[in-house]
Amino acid sequence: MPELEDLTPEMKAAIGAEVGPPAVWEVTTQGIRTFARAVGYTNPVYYDAAAARAKGHRDLLAPPGFYGMPIYDPAGPANESNSSGADWENVFPRRLNGGTEVIPEQDVYAGDILEARTRVTSLALRASRMGQMLVREAETVYTRTSDGAIVGRIVNTGLRY
Amino acid sequence: MTQLTWDDVAEGQEISIVEETPSQRLVIWAAASGDFYQIHYDDSIANENKLPGIIVHGALKGMLVGRLLDEWIGDEGRIVRWGVSYRAMDRARLPITVWGRVTRKYEDGGRALLDLDVGVKQQDGTTETTPGTATVELPRRA
């Protein structure tokens, strides 16, 4: 891959732009329980709707940072290659996760329908011991579609190299 | 369990959990997160990507910090925000310590808040891979 002197025009144009169309999905009981198990939660409010209601929740509660996940499109491209992403970022074939910030705003429950909008907030080139890296910061805002309330935000820093 | 209150906490207080990272857990995380990148479960593909072997998902480490905070603050506490940087890789199959330390105890607009430094440490005790910060809100003692 070429060492870039500066961000390409395509990269500069991507800053501030939304990434793809907004995604809409349902937060499912199965999704909540799988996430809770993977992270190692034992609190029953994340596994048992009755336990959650006994604590004053309206349904099975999602652990902090869980906003459901996109529904897989069986006809879409397999999201398993090293180079998934826009053409301008696939200039760098490999990727790593650089950081996560979670700003919870409201509790999320099973059955909530959320809309996620992701926007690139910054791009920068950086030298690293694995070669030049493209550092991409993006903010995803999760909105509950039933009333338009923002339930949380995640800022992700992605590294391409 | 008794609900932790803001009044119970002092600046400098430390919390931590030790977590195992077998490959099976990373596969469960892949299913939970939808991140099926093979560097987290296929050593040969990790090697092709200049890595020494499969590594723990950054996002899983970030969410383990969330769990540390969530379990500490209890049902009546609230996480205002937390954020971490994945500065170094944690090789899978080795235990990690997820930790927090209260750096500031204060009130703001009637809310009883705590700021913390947070992170993930490898078991050699020296390598800090995932530094970050957090803010939580706790109830006051009745």
pLDDT tens for A126-144 read: 998 888 999 999 999 999 9
* Residue B107 to residue B111: CA distance in whole angstroms: 5
Q: Give me the pLDDT at residue A70, please.
A: 66
pLDDT computed for residue A82 by the predictor: 45
- pLDDT tens-digit readout, B5-17: 999 999 999 999 9
Give the chain B residue whose CA is nearest to the CA of A30.
B32
**B42 to chain A, closest Cα gap in Å:** 12
Residue spans of chain A under pLDDT 70: 1-2, 70-84
Per-residue pLDDT at B124: 76
When pLDDT is averaged across residues B23-39 and rounded to a whole number, the result is: 92
Which pLDDT score is estimated for A86?
83
Cβ separation A69–B62 shorter than 8 A: no
* CB B116 within 8 Å of CB B134: yes
pLDDT at position A74 is 59
Structure tokens at B106: 């204060």
Q: Is the pLDDT score of B100 beyond 80?
A: yes
CA atoms in the 13 A half-sphere facing the CB of B99 = 20
pLDDT attached to residue B16:
97
Distance of CA A161 to the CA centre of its chain: 20
Give the separation between CA A31 and CA A36, rounded to whole angstroms. 9
For B99-121, what is the mean pLDDT?
Answer: 97
Write down the CATH superfamily of domain B13-21+56-137: Hotdog Thioesterase (3.10.129.10)
The ipTM value here is 0.94
Minimal C-alpha gap between B12 and chain A (Å): 23
* Contact residues, B window 14-33, toward A, CB-based 8 Å cutoff: 19, 25, 28-29, 31-33
Q: What CATH homologous superfamily does A1-26+85-161 map to?
A: Hotdog Thioesterase (3.10.129.10)
Query: Which comes out higher in pLDDT, residue B36 or B64?
Result: B64
Is some CB atom of chain B closer than 8 A to the CB atom of A44?
no
Residue B69 has pLDDT above 80, yes or no: yes
Q: Give the pLDDT confidence of B70-81 residue by residue, as tens digits.
A: 999 999 999 999
Cβ contacts below 8 Å, chain A against chain B, sum to 102
**d(C-alpha B56, C-alpha A125), whole Å:** 25
In this complex, the residue of B29, B70, B81 whose CB is nearest that of residue A101 is B81
Chain B CB contacts of A76 below 8 Å: none
Interface test with A, best of B63, B68, B96, B97 (most A CBs within 10 A): B63
